[in-house]
Amino acid sequence: MPENDNAIVLKKELEEILPRKLAQVFRDYGLDLDELLVPLKWKPLVLFIGNYSSGKSTFINEFLGRDIQRTGQAPTDDSFTIITAPEGEEPEGDLTGSTVVNDERFPFESLRGFGQKLLSHLSMKRVKAPVLENIAIIDTPGMLDSVTEQDRGYDYLGVIGEFAKLADLIVLMFDPHKAGTIKETYKVLRVTLPGMVGEDRVRFVLNRIDECESLEDLVRAYGTLCWNLSQMTGRKDIPRIFLTYARIEGREVLPEFKIWEKEREELKRSLLDAPRMRLYHMLQEVDNVVRELALEIEALENLKSRFRTKLWGFSKSLIFAGTGAFFLGDLAMNLIFGYPSNPFVMDLVSGTLGPHSFLWPLIWLLLVVAAGSAVFQKITFPRFARKYADDPDPLVKLKTPYERDLWPVVRQRVSELIEKHARRQVWMPHSRNLQKVRRFLKKDLQAFYERIKLY
């Protein structure tokens, strides 16, 4: 599998170049670079979701050429099953839910939070099949309807969302009878997958088309589905929908439907594309995180320049006040207390200026500067920091919808950094960091995208 080799080479290169170019910058902003690649540490994942008895398990069995998953008309299987080949010399067999979420080799730690009930409905089946060397397939209990979902005892849609975040390819399968539940499922994808980038990970499948009674019937079902989909995606164009059916022994299929048999084969082949999708996924993930970082630095750079303006304004007042105190401080003392007898200005006018004349002016100057700095440190600056910690919005100009999508998360981080380390933020070399990050996005990451296209 040359594609998979390329995937490994590219992944290695990315893992090398990312720390070399950006580790320092990540650390400067309190982010952990290693965490970024955790979801990508295991095999490429293909996730099957859709309504119950849409034919997910039947399709998976067919794809593997073995009867691995139970199938049936009623909601037969209410478990999440991760199917893959055993590693190295390990034997075939099942792993329990708690093993799956606790084994460091697998990327499923995030499922621990969903409780015991989920763990008893999660397992890994390890099956020796050549296609499973490079991918893992996740079969899910079919979506019932939103009311019944609440009885499962765990957050079903939340779990789907977690899997969707990890998955490189998502097969969204539904049948003509129950296309309604697709809406709920799709909503989860929309909120979990980042921005617009996630959409290309989804394969839409209308399965069991052999159950349509005629071609007209199929066209009607397809039309309804397209309408529903365009409402859900909010796009003008309709994503490709694979029309498929399983060949079941003893079951007659209308001859006109036979032309769709090749779509099922095409869909199977597209699952083998998962390793390449993994590369996209990986780049999108990196892209996303680095763009978040860029936005964060931009905000802090702006904070720094606002700080400079503020500091300069304050300094100007301080210079003014200091000059006044230098020339007039001892004169005022003289007028009120009669001491010192020869204030600075008088010496200046009478031409009797000597080193002794500078003593009081300098003391006054120092006093004003000290008082001014104290005010700045204790009052002006904390107020300035508080203002932007409470509301960092004025610090950025969100130019694209993508940046608007990123901002809520970044906003939170900016706010926390200002809250905790405001002083550091106004002195850090943000613009240099921003340059590094932008160069990475423009040059290095772009080069990776170009290379994927070639494969």
Ligand X SMILES: Nc1nc2c(ncn2[C@@H]2O[C@H](COP(=O)(O)OP(=O)(O)O)[C@@H](O)[C@H]2O)c(=O)[nH]1
CB of 206 to Mg ion, least distance (A): 17
- Which does residue 53 bind out of ligand X, Mg ion, none, counting CB within 5 to 8 angstroms by kind? ligand X
Site string for ligand X, 65-104 (x = CB under 6 A): ------xxx--x----------------------------
- Which does residue 30 bind out of Mg ion, ligand X, none, counting CB within 5 to 8 angstroms by kind? none
User: Using the rule CB under 6 A, is 53 a contact of ligand X?
Assistant: yes
In the numeric block, which tokens belong to residue 396?
């950025």
Nearer to Mg ion (CB atom), residue 59 or residue 280: 59
Three state DSSP letters for the chain: CHHHHHHHHHHHHHHHHHHHHHHHHHHHCCCCHHHHCHHHCCCCEEEEEEECCCCHHHHHHHHHCCCCCCCCCCCCCCCEEEEECCCCCCCCEEEEHHHHHHCCCCCCHHHHHHCHHHHCCEEEEECCCHHHHCCEEEECCCECCHHHHHHHCCCHHHHHHHHHHHCCEEEEEECCCCHHHHHHHHHHHHHHCCCCHHHHHEEEEECCHHHCCCHHHHHHHHHHHHHHHHHHHCCCCCCCEEECCCCCCCCCCCHHHHHHHHHHHHHHHHHCCHHHHHHHHHHHHHHHHHHHHHHHHHHHHHHHHHHHHHHHHHHHHHHHHHHHHHHHHHHHHHHHHCCCCCCHHHHHHHCCCCHHHHHHHHHHHHHHHHHHHHHHHHHHHHHHHHHHHHCCHHHCCCCCHHHHHHHHHHHHHHHHHHHHHHHHHCCCCHHHHHHHHHHHHHHHHHHHHHHHHHC
User: Using the rule CB under 6 A, is 210 a contact of ligand X?
Assistant: yes
Q: List contacts with Mg ion (CB under 5 A).
A: 57, 77
AA identity, residue 150: Q
In the numeric block, which tokens belong to residue 435?
């340059």
- Count interface residues toward ligand X (CB under 6 A): 19
- Which does residue 72 bind out of Mg ion, ligand X, none, counting CB within 5 to 8 angstroms by kind? ligand X
- Which does residue 58 bind out of ligand X, Mg ion, none, counting CB within 5 to 8 angstroms by kind? ligand X
User: Using the rule CB under 6 A, is 208 a contact of ligand X?
Assistant: yes
Among 4, 81, 123, 207, binds ligand X (CB under 6 A): 207
Nearer to Mg ion (CB atom), residue 136 or residue 286: 136
CB of 163 to ligand X, least distance (A): 16
Applying CB under 6 A, which part among 5-13, 53-61, 114-122, 433-441 lies near ligand X?
Answer: 53-61
Site string for ligand X, 132-151 (x = CB under 6 A): ----------x---------
Residue linked to tokens 């789907």? 160
- Tell me how far apart the alpha carbons of residues 251 and 246 are, in angstroms, rounded to a whole number: 10
User: Using the rule CB under 6 A, is 121 a contact of ligand X?
Assistant: no
CB of 139 to Mg ion, least distance (A): 6
- Which does residue 219 bind out of Mg ion, ligand X, none, counting CB within 5 to 8 angstroms by kind? none
CB of 180 to ligand X, least distance (A): 15
- Closest residue to ligand X, judged by C-beta, is 55
Among 10, 39, 44, 55, binds ligand X (CB under 6 A): 55
> Interface residues for ligand X in 219-258 (CB under 6 A)?
245-246, 248
In the numeric block, which tokens belong to residue 188?
């989860």
User: Using the rule CB under 6 A, is 198 a contact of ligand X?
Assistant: no
Among 52, 186, 360, 364, binds ligand X (CB under 6 A): 52
Applying CB under 6 A, which part among 51-59, 232-240, 318-326, 439-447 lies near ligand X?
Answer: 51-59
- Tell me how far apart the alpha carbons of residues 183 and 450 are, in angstroms, rounded to a whole number: 35
Nearer to ligand X (CB atom), residue 89 or residue 151: 151
CB of 203 to Mg ion, least distance (A): 17
Nearer to ligand X (CB atom), residue 39 or residue 55: 55
Site residues, ligand X (CB under 6 A): 52-58, 71-73, 76, 142, 207-208, 210-211, 245-246, 248
